[in-house]
Structure 1
Amino acid sequence: MATPQDLQDLIRLFTVGRKIPMMQAMAQIKALQAVELRSIKQIAESALETVQSAIKDEKTAKSLQNACKAALKREASSGTKRGAPSSPAHPAKRAKNAFMNVPVEMTPQEFESSLELPIIMDEDKIRQTVVEMNRAPLVLAFAVELLRYTMPEQPPSSRLSLAQAVVSANSRSKAVSLGFQKGPSADEEGWGEGQPRVKVMGREVAVLKRGGYEWKGEENVGGDAAATSGGSAVTTESASAEKAQTQSPLSVAAPATPKPVWATSAPISLKDSKFIARAIHLSSPSERGTLMKSLFNAQPQLRSASHNAWAYRLRPSEGSMSNRPREESFDDGETGCGDLMLRIMREINAVDTLVVLTRWFGGTMLGPDRWRLMRNVVTSALTEQFRKSGAEVSLGGEAVWGLDLEAAKNKATVGGYGSGTKLHATTGVVGMQIHRPEAARGYLLKSIAMKDEATSSSPARRKSMHKTHKMREAEREEALGLLLGALRMLFDSWADDLDTAELDRRAWGWYCAVRPDVENGVAGWGSKGAVRLDSILDLRRPERK
């Protein structure tokens, strides 16, 4: 009888050993299972005609059977069984296990903290700084900071992975144009077929959902529930009223008009700002005012909030010429909040629903973190609303990895073109390789330096200015912090004026405006040049008069 391990071994044989795309591999495995060939051993020991009845092509069937026989011989010569646990790794190496979503013995919070990048927001110092780097890591830096604004729900590890996927794809395209590479890319050959995609700096990249990966930043979830919602977690605000009715000795009297039942998120607080969202069924636009009035009467503390933004989506009215849902939103001073709520509702196809998002401003600007926090509370409230109504929903905003399709095709390095790393890594899904965030972070740190006299003066002068390895590491970290600080100030200046799609579109143009000058053609491949950080600051949105 075949086991789950047999299936994993087959998938590995097809995708890694025979370099067959995952979708095609699964189709062939399904055909083999239909003729009762469910393991490498069964395929190796069966008659060729049986294998051919599933695969249809005699040459391919024979090649597959030979590959299975070779796999069995390797197993016999090594003296191990497939799926048997190997000897435990050295403790120092366990934390770098590349086959895990999160390194062994690290919580998601610890993992994300280990990937933290330096950031320096000193404008005077930024304006005085010139760094030296090549173009690929500058694209990486642009993409990492851009994703804080366009995909704020993604944890730092996902942003690094996605940014490296963009660098890898861009570098391969450049290599093809220069004649270093030939033939179609792995993506063009279908290695990313069936996988979801996201757009970063105008380029679509295939991604893999990190099912169940939960991460939060520095915010406190549920800490001040009593102060903000009258409850302690995701709940319905009629619960206390229902409980009071049950315990009241006057419960035999005529029932009162039922109160609206709101699904409520757990409150989230960060830097003294507090967010909470509520969702409720809505039948018509005219009900919105009545529902919100009843909410404020039941929760009078909401009147003191800085913002009470709302959004709703309704099914098309009967007899309407359009089949598009009716939508409306109001920011109440929280710029972009209404559009964000509508976007989340579209992602999960929520209709006949009103969402109210409340924020108490704590006095400190949160930057792109506010988008992530707003998404979290709105998603939480909608999840509870759907749970109560019994509807099925697949929420967006899941954490993802950037897939390394070239590595899957060629057994290339995990970082892809431009990363310089030789580490192999896959996800927990057999045969699907990803861009590891650790490699992307390391690439950023090692590929940048301050441009000073040591880079341009005579050998004797450079020798007199010799710096220790530790000093150079500190200098690189400072250079990267200043670069990322300049980029954050650039994106901050435009974030409230541009939607995420437009911000993504403009990012590539901004990169082109400040990228280092290098020679054209092959001579400039991988060459470094100067990047003046004040040129990045000059791209900021002009201040309003």
Structure 2
Amino acid sequence: MAAAAEVQALLRFLTKDARVPLAEAMPKINVLRKQQLNTPEKLAKADEADLRSIFADEKVLKQVVNAAKRVSNPKKRGPSQSNSSPAKRVKATPDFVDNEASLALPQTALSVDELQHLSVETNRAPLFLAFTIAVLAYTQPDQPLSSRWSMAQAVVSAGAQSKAKYLGLTSGPTAEEDGWAQGQPKVKIMGREVAVMRRHVALEDDGDATASADAFWGLDLDALRKSNGPLIAGKDVKSPSGPPIHKPAAARNYLLKSMMPVDYDPMQPRESNNGKGMAAKKTSTQDMAKKRLEAAAMVLKAIDAACQSWASTLSAEDLDQRAQAWYMRVRPDVEQGQAGWGQRGQVRLADILKLRKEPTTLAAVD
């Protein structure tokens, strides 16, 4: 997903450093990549006449050029940043924040063409989480990865609670229906408005935290109801378990353990232990974890390929709406009613890859 990382870096530069509105920045990404203007350093050295063909608005052009020169200047970047790092980076406060690097999406060395022939077994909730976290990289690129994981889990949890009540698996009002989301800011993700909590995040400029970013946690309304509140926007709840948010590491771990390649036989390790006892069982557990990790990486790469193919032509709102329909088209078939709750099924990655835009102008995703 190197191409996705490049897209995200460009989008972050345009929206955060050059202050270009998201809807205006997204269509420029593929054009910049095709012309090999895919880093601030290259943009800083580019002929303004060439850039003017991309950024027709003189004000926007100046913003981009000035930001590129500022970001690519080592003296202005500060000694603590590498040449490939943007001048402004998100720095989350240590309160209840997972290390951003540890929250990275899993990667696979398989090409998109190789994914065409593979399938994964999972149930609907993890697949919906995979679609949500993948599309948020394009619709909410300014949010730290920890925020995206947290908000993605908030969407999945809200949907699960509504579904459980609809199926008669739970009774009584949900925490949202009980009013625990009142007064909280809300963000619309995958067609659903979820309550969020503002978090303390700073932007680093020349090594100093000088400004606040508008970042969020996905609010765990059930946890808030159990703690009996109150929650004041912008304030962390002082409790041993932290604020009532969906923990990003928990969301990531849930996804990584919920998928499996369909050609994998879970009985095979047990039958081939050859009397090696605990050592063989440990190897089997590790092998299954690797296969689950690979399965999640394959699904995310397929979804990312679909998102990337449309990112330059759809607004963030349209891409979010499109992703909802995509999920509905490829989700595994399960039994109706309560019997289908949590039931696993197969997802053909070829079906996800069919969601890509026609490849007339599609850039390579490998």
* TM-score of the aligned structures, taking structure 2 as reference length: 0.63
CA separation of 1:101 and 1:190: change in aligned 2, threshold 3 A:
farther
CA separation of 1:126 and 1:222: change in aligned 2, threshold 3 A:
farther
1:492 matches 2:303:
no
1:310-389 aligned at under 5 Å gives the runs none
Provide the residue aligned with 2:152 in structure 1: 163
Residue 184 of structure 1 and its aligned partner are, at CA, apart by 2.1
| Equivalent residue letter for 1:171 | A
CA separation of 1:461 and 1:162: change in aligned 2, threshold 3 A:
closer
Residue 215 of structure 1 and its aligned partner are, at CA, apart by 6.5
SS of match in other structure, 2:224: helix
Q: 1:123 aligns with which of 100, 112, 115?
A: 112
Q: 1:114 aligns with which of 78, 92, 102?
A: 102
Residue 484 of structure 1 and its aligned partner are, at CA, apart by 0.7
In 2, Cα distance between the equivalents of 1:101 and 1:442? 22
In 1, Cα distance between the equivalents of 2:256 and 2:164? 23
Do the aligned residues in 2 keep the contact of 1:454 with 1:462 (CA within 8 Å)? no
Identity of aligned residues (%): 45
In 1, Cα distance between the equivalents of 2:309 and 2:178? 40
| Equivalent residue letter for 1:523 | A
In 1, Cα distance between the equivalents of 2:93 and 2:248? 11
Which aligned runs of 4 or more in structure 1 are off by greater than 6 angstroms?
459-462
Do the aligned residues in 1 keep the contact of 2:198 with 2:215 (CA within 8 Å)? yes
1:535 matches 2:351:
yes
Provide the residue aligned with 2:245 in structure 1: 434
1:402 matches 2:218:
yes
Residue 103 of structure 1 and its aligned partner are, at CA, apart by 6.1
Provide the residue aligned with 1:178 in structure 2: 167
CA-to-aligned-CA distance 1:209-245 (integer Å, 9 cap, x gap): 112x1368xxxx769xxxxxxxxx9xxxxxxxxxxxx
Provide the residue aligned with 1:468 in structure 2: 284
Residue 464 of structure 1 and its aligned partner are, at CA, apart by 4.4
1:504 matches 2:312:
no
Residue 101 of structure 1 and its aligned partner are, at CA, apart by 5.8
Do the aligned residues in 2 keep the contact of 1:155 with 1:215 (CA within 8 Å)? no
In 2, Cα distance between the equivalents of 1:505 and 1:490? 13
User: What value does the CA root-mean-square deviation take over the aligned residues?
Assistant: 3.0
Residue 454 of structure 1 and its aligned partner are, at CA, apart by 1.4
| Equivalent residue letter for 1:158 | S
In 2, Cα distance between the equivalents of 1:142 and 1:190? 28
**Where in structure 1 are there 5+ consecutive unaligned residues?**
1-99, 224-232, 234-379, 384-394, 413-426
In 1, Cα distance between the equivalents of 2:269 and 2:157? 37
Provide the residue aligned with 1:514 in structure 2: 330
Residue 441 of structure 1 and its aligned partner are, at CA, apart by 0.7
Residue 460 of structure 1 and its aligned partner are, at CA, apart by 8.0
Do the aligned residues in 2 keep the contact of 1:145 with 1:487 (CA within 8 Å)? yes
**Where in structure 2 are there 5+ consecutive unaligned residues?**
1-91, 229-234, 274-280, 362-366
Provide the residue aligned with 1:333 in structure 2: none
1:525 matches 2:336:
no
Residue 462 of structure 1 and its aligned partner are, at CA, apart by 7.1
In 1, Cα distance between the equivalents of 2:312 and 2:268? 51
* TM-score of the aligned structures, taking structure 1 as reference length: 0.43
Residue 532 of structure 1 and its aligned partner are, at CA, apart by 0.7
Do the aligned residues in 2 keep the contact of 1:133 with 1:530 (CA within 8 Å)? yes
In 2, Cα distance between the equivalents of 1:145 and 1:434? 20
User: How many correspondences in the alignment?
Assistant: 252
In 1, Cα distance between the equivalents of 2:270 and 2:347? 21
CA separation of 1:461 and 1:470: change in aligned 2, threshold 3 A:
closer
